[in-house]
Amino acid sequence: MRRRLGVAARIAQDRFAEVSHALHAISLSARPTSGAAYGGQALIDGVLMRGPSHIGVALRTADGGIAVTSEPIATGSIRRRLTRIPVLRGAVVLWETLALGSRWLLRSADVSAGDETQSSSSTGATIATLAITILIAVVIFNVLPAIAASAIVHALGSTDLLLERAIDGLLQVGILLGYLAAVGRSSDVDRTYRYHGAEHRAIHALENGEPLTRSALARWPTAHPRCGTEFLVVVILVSIVTFSLVGRLDPIPTVISRIAGIPLVAGLAYEILRLLGRFRTNPIARALAAPGIAVQRITTRKPDDGMHDIAIVALTAAIEAEGGVVPSGSERPTSRALQSLKAR
Listing DSSP states for 105-166 in one string gives HHHHHHHHTT-SS--SS-HHHHHHHHHHHHHHHHIIIIIHHHHHHHHHHHHTT---HHHHHH
Q: pTM for the whole thing?
A: 0.83
Q: What is the pLDDT of residue 35?
A: 54
Q: What is the pLDDT of residue 308?
A: 98
Strands 46-50 and 39-43: antiparallel
Q: What is the pLDDT of residue 15?
A: 42
Give CA–CA dist 42/57, Å, rounded: 10
Q: What is the pLDDT of residue 2?
A: 47
Q: What is the pLDDT of residue 28?
A: 33
Q: What is the pLDDT of residue 343?
A: 56
Q: Please give the C-alpha separations between residue 240 and each of 20, 170, 227, 258, in angstroms, as whole numbers.
A: 20, 10, 22, 11
Give CA–CA dist 53/48, Å, rounded: 13
Residue 242 near residue 265 (C-beta atoms within 8 A): yes
pLDDT averages per 10-residue partition of the chain, 344 residues? 48 43 37 62 94 94 96 80 83 80 88 82 71 81 89 92 89 89 88 95 95 97 81 79 81 84 85 76 77 86 97 98 95 94 63
Give CA–CA dist 175/173, Å, rounded: 6
Q: Could you tell me where the DSSP H helices lie in the chain?
A: 2-14, 77-82, 88-112, 123-138, 144-155, 161-183, 187-207, 214-218, 229-246, 251-260, 262-278, 283-299, 305-321
Q: What is the pLDDT of residue 86?
A: 87
Question: Domain coordinates of the chain in residue numbers?
Answer: 2-337
Closest by CA position to 24, among listed 145, 202, 179, 143 = 202
Q: What is the pLDDT of residue 121?
A: 66
